[in-house]
Amino acid sequence: MLSILEKRTLIFLFLIYNIGMHIGPYSEIWDENIPETEQPDPTLKGLDLRSNTSILRTMLDSQTKAIQSIEAALPALSSAADAIVTKLSDPSSRLIHGGAGSSGLLAMQDAMELNPTFDWPLERQVFLMAGGDKARLTPIGPEEDNIRTVDDAVKDNNICNKDVVIIVAASGTTPFSVRLLKAANKVGALTISIANNPDTELLNLADHGICLKSGPEIIAGSTRLAAGTAQKAALGMLSSLIMTRLGHVIDGFMVNMVANNQKLYERASRIVASISQCSLEKATNALDETKGAIKPAILVCLGLNQADAKIMLEKTGGDLRHAMEGLV
């Protein structure tokens, strides 16, 4: 039970809260020119007065809606993937990720997984973060507005018309990200943008603009929440689809994974055995023969020797599915 003093305190805080909320209505303070990801949600008035479970449930609902926002973006994601795969089919092309703040970190996080998951060459990856390498570990807010470093970064990294540049910004208006997009467009790179507000400069100027309309945040403006969830999922979906189309995924298995520890080596053995439909022992022996490379190990299990397996994969550009079809 609450004491009389505690009850009076709660009533006083409630009155002050409501008086404060009615000084300058939302419609005057948060007008239609404010991006949706910055807007407060009027239904969350008094959120901090709710129980823990109620706040968590509200957050979960917001996260669920964020994921659902990707549904409308599926055609754009599919179209972007086709264009990226075409560009990356050139072995001299690169996949470049850029951005600022939490959006940039999410883009970088997804990109960093491409090497261990799909053995995407490190030399074909570039990360361009507002604030540089320091921003990976330390928040550097002012750098989001710093466009002076962008042109030098594009020049220093020799970004050109062979490259794919993916830029993520929840607002769609971050100065660093917009400038990077313009610079990439200028050199003829294929540009992909992901933003959470519609009809923004970042979306309108990209070759492929992907809008994830995740709506207002539970904590107004904190785009690491709903917007970040939508971005994380969309980035993972896009990169996985790209790598699937490049021949690095078969039947839901990562057939170009880097098996460089015990857990991954055991996983690789199970993958080889599952696809080639052989025993686990045979799969492991084949992996030992190919020094942990999954694709040639599968072809070895299907009857080729290691040398012929390598030649077959070279002929198909590393596409295991096509190599397997050539054995039929």
Residues forming the active site: 113, 144
Cα distances (angstroms) measured from residue 170 to each of 135, 152, 299: 17, 24, 44
Closest Cα to residue 107, out of 27, 170, 176?
A: 170
Cα distances (angstroms) measured from residue 134 to each of 129, 138, 143, 168, 266: 9, 6, 11, 18, 36
Size of the chain, expressed as the number of residues it contains: 328
Distance CA 192, CA 235 (A): 11
Q: How many CB atoms lie within 10 A of CB 229?
A: 22
Closest Cα to residue 142, out of 171, 101, 177?
A: 101
Distance CA 38, CA 122 (A): 36
Residue-wise DSSP of 110-132: HHHTHHHHH---GGGEEEEETTG
Distance CA 189, CA 186 (A): 8
99 and 167 in contact (C-beta within 8 Å)? Answer: yes
Q: Find the largest Cα–Cα distance for the chain.
A: 85
